[in-house]
Structure 1
């Protein structure tokens, strides 16, 4: 059971890291004119937009600057940390 929980923790860490990378690429593509119009940019936007729209509703852009990517990454890291705490607690409980 402990091995399964460790595997779950590693899976969560990998998923958060992968999605954080996608969000960072999305932010970088927004700086390059026309990059979001490419097939790659379209794919990254389709993965990022639904998640970032949640934060855009909570934190409106200030002029031309949006902090939705930063808020999204911080929230992902918070969820990852919470999952770590819960899984480590369960591992210690079961040991």
Structure 2
């Protein structure tokens, strides 16, 4: 099956690709539950190429993930402050 994907390193379009469903493997460079694997591409950067249509969604997920981690860190700090306050006031009584 011929599809189009973009090389994540040089943004060159890859047209000779094989669509493959697989388990994500960060060691190989794949992202998401489905990805494109280039059969042959002159830039040599084909490994880990993702479909162009997925690129925007992956960026949105990365951004959401960073925002979520930031909120979790803020919440953890607030919980720590409350726990410290309770602990210090408990000792005084």
- Scaled to the shorter chain, the TM-score interval is 0.3 to 0.5
**Larger Rg: 1 or 2?**
2
What's the TM-score, normalizing by structure 1?
A: 0.39
Please state which structure has a larger fraction of its residues in strand. 2
What's the TM-score, normalizing by structure 2?
A: 0.39
